[in-house]
Amino acid sequence: MGTVVMYSSVSVDGFIADGNDQPGLLFDWLTGGDVPLDDSGVLKVSQTSYDYIRPYWDRIGATVVGRHVFDLTDGWDGTPPGGVEHVVVVTHRPAPDGWDPGAPFHFVNGVEAAVAKAKELAGERLVEVAAGDVGGQVFAAGLVDEVRMDVAPVVFGSGKRYFGSVHAQQLLEDPDTVIQGNRVLHVRYRVRR
């Protein structure tokens, strides 16, 4: 089965969104470069960021998100973001009315079941877990193998925390990757077992 990676852009003080649930300047690095990151024409990064992010994105087989993120994005109009093949949505509610049952989205109750479903769908590829409340629950359950952060040079002071409501101490290994891009620092940690 594939590696489970918790991932997001994050402020220097550990937030993935401000108090109004907005990412603010966290994603400036994703639009401030000159190298297209995908076919949308919107995402353009520095060559350094491209060389780090694109191969990672290409290895993702499934992404796990919470219902809140799904609702905020309107389910990406039924097309998973970044070329991901499957999205597993952690929720206690059914798919929205009128949702296309053929869309590659899977609605699952509970983080353990979501990670199991994502692993099944991803096969040997990576399972990405969006940081935040659901990511924090997956992390606290001991199901995350690796933590990736794109640290943006912004301080929010409050908002949505990268690790959600995790309150227990957990050690990570020393970062095995630290790459400086334009307006971002890419960092990767393995979770200490």
| Domain total of the chain | 1
Confidence of residue 150 (pLDDT cuts 50, 70, 90): very high
Mean pLDDT of 144-150: 98
Segments forming the whole domain that contains residue 107:
4-190
pTM above 0.85, yes or no: yes
**Predicted pLDDT of residue 169:** 86
Q: At residue 149, does pLDDT exceed 90?
A: yes
Q: Using an 8 Å Cβ cutoff, are 177 and 53 in contact?
A: no
pLDDT one-digit tens code per residue, 10-61:
999 999 999 999 999 999 999 999 999 988 889 999 999 999 999 999 999 9
- Residue 147: which CATH number? 3.40.430.10
The DSSP line for 13-66 is TSEEE-TTS--GGGGGGGTSSSEESSTTSS-EE-HHHHHHHHHHHHTEEEEEEE
- Only one residue has tokens 């002071």, namely 157
Fill in the amino acid letter for 11: S
